[in-house]
Structures are given as structure tokens and as C-alpha cells.
């Protein structure tokens, strides 16, 4: 597996291009916007054929490039149907003064525990409502990597003050679905840098009541 990031649009969203064992890939949260970003993104995809789009949630900065991906490559777009209402809301009012996303794409609904296989890789859906009602993480267990969208960041968690957000749901999702996973799993969030489940379990200040120092041996020497 080879993972490359394309940092897109005004909100510095991470679009992840995940190459499988052959010359094909999946794209997680294609947020590229405008002519220049579209050209750059298509350049990244010139040597690998996209076979699927995986969406972690439906906020505009994560879906700007989805319709273009589906038009150009005919790929299925996998996402939770619980976030359709989120997309519809921002269709009406916009978000932070940003352009409204082109929503002329069709989705293939997914649910918790389901697996999607594309580009020679298998991804498991982990439902993590909170940042939005349809937020999901995509776990590739074989490779020990997970795409967490805006649910879990390196050193932070996703905001829950937007429409349909719920802090209680987000904390529950993280504590019951994510931090119990193997500590060596690498996380690739929707913004900012990467991390591991183990690192976040012991050092993420938003999860402080649940930190366990023994997860990272070197911390025990402090």
C-alpha cells in the first residue's frame, strides 16, 4: 500500500490517494476545488486508476471533488446515508462562506461493519457519529491503517458545534470504536498530520481521562 496526500481547498482538507498492489487506487474524501486543484489532482491520478471513492462524511470540504471523480472515472462513491441530510443542509445555506459542493454524484450506502474491496484492498466501515451523524472511519486491517476523517485527529477530535453534531456521540464513538483498536494502527485524518491509535490513547488531551501511559513504553521512563 502506498498513501499520498493532496491538501485541498481553503480548509486544508486531506484528500488521500491509496494505491493498492497494482496500478489502481481508492481516493478518500476528494476535496479538490477549482480548475487548478482539479488539474493537480488529475496529475496525481495519471499513473493509477481510481476504483472507488470512500467518504468519511458529507461536509463540503470533503466532497468538493466527488462529482468530478465520478464523471471522469465512473467510480462508486461509498458513504453512510446518515449524512445525506448533512449534505442537503449545506446545499441550502453553504458553510463558512465557501462555495456549495456539486452534489450530482450517486452514493453507494454503507453501514457499520460492512467491508468494501477495491484496488486489491479491503476496507472496513466503522460508524463514528458525532462530528456528523454519518461520520465513518475506514479501516484497512491488513495494512494497519485507518482513515478517520474529522472524527479523530493527531492531538484533537472533530468539532461538534456544526449542524447535527453531537459531542456525546463523538466521545462515545471514539472510546467505544477507535481507542480499543490495536495501538499500532496508523491514522490518517481529514486535516493535519498522521498519528497512531496508541499515541492518541496516551497523549490526546481531549481523551485525557482515559489515557494509559503503558501504551508507549518510552513514556514510562519520564
**CA 222, CA 203: separation in Å to the nearest integer?**
14
197's grid cell: 491509535
Pairing of strands 115-118, 121-127: antiparallel
Mean pLDDT along residues 55-84: 97
pLDDT at 209: 65
pLDDT at 95: 60
pLDDT at 90: 87
Mean pLDDT along residues 72-78: 98
CB environment 185-206: b (16+ within 10 A), e (fewer): bbbbbbbeebbbbbbbbbbbeb
Neighbours of 154 (CB within 10 A): 18
pLDDT at 74: 97
pLDDT in tens, 161-218: 999 999 999 999 999 999 999 999 999 999 999 999 999 999 999 997 655 554 444 4
132's grid cell: 456528523
Mean pLDDT along residues 85-111: 87
Query: Domains (ranges, CATH) in the chain?
Result: 2-221 (3.60.15.10)
CB 56 within 8 A of CB 135: yes
Whether the pLDDT of residue 98 is over 90: the answer is no
Any alpha helices (H) in the chain, and if so which ranges? 34-44, 60-63, 66-73, 84-93, 167-173, 197-203
Q: How far is CA 5 from CA 53, 66, 149, 190, in A?
A: 14, 16, 13, 10
**CA 43, CA 64: separation in Å to the nearest integer?**
17
Verdict on whether the full-model pTM lies above 0.85: yes
CB 85 within 8 A of CB 164: yes
Mean pLDDT along residues 43-50: 95
Amino acid at each position: 500500500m502506498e498513501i499520498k496526500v493532496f491538501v485541498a481547498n481553503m480548509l486544508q482538507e486531506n484528500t488521500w490517494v491509496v494505491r493498492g498492489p497494482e496500478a489502481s487506487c481508492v481516493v478518500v474524501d476528494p476535496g479538490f476545488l477549482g480548475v487548478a486543484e482539479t488539474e493537480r489532482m488529475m496529475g496525481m491520478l495519471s499513473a493509477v486508476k481510481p476504483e472507488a471513492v470512500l467518504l468519511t462524511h458529507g461536509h463540503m470540504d470533503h466532497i468538493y471533488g466527488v462529482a468530478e471523480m465520478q464523471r471522469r472515472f465512473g467510480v462508486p462513491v461509498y458513504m453512510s446515508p446518515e449524512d445525506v441530510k448533512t449534505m442537503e443542509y449545506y446545499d441550502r445555506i453553504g458553510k463558512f462562506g465557501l462555495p456549495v459542493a456539486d452534489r450530482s454524484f450517486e452514493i453507494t450506502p454503507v453501514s457499520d461493519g460492512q467491508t468494501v474491496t477495491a484496488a486489491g484492498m479491503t476496507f472496513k466501515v466503522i460508524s463514528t457519529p458525532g462530528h456528523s451523524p454519518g461520520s465513518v472511519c475506514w479501516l484497512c486491517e491488513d495494512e494497519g491503517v485507518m482513515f478517520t476523517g474529522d472524527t479523530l485527529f493527531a492531538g484533537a477530535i472533530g468539532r461538534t458545534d456544526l449542524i447535527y453534531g453531537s459531542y456525546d456521540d463523538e466521545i462515545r464513538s471514539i472510546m467505544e470504536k477507535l481507542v480499543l483498536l490495536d495501538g499500532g494502527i496508523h491514522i490518517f485524518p481529514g486535516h493535519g498530520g498522521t498519528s497512531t491509535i496508541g499515541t492518541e490513547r496516551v497523549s490526546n488531551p481531549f481523551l485525557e481521562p482515559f489515557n494509559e501511559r503503558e501504551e508507549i513504553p518510552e513514556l514510562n521512563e519520564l
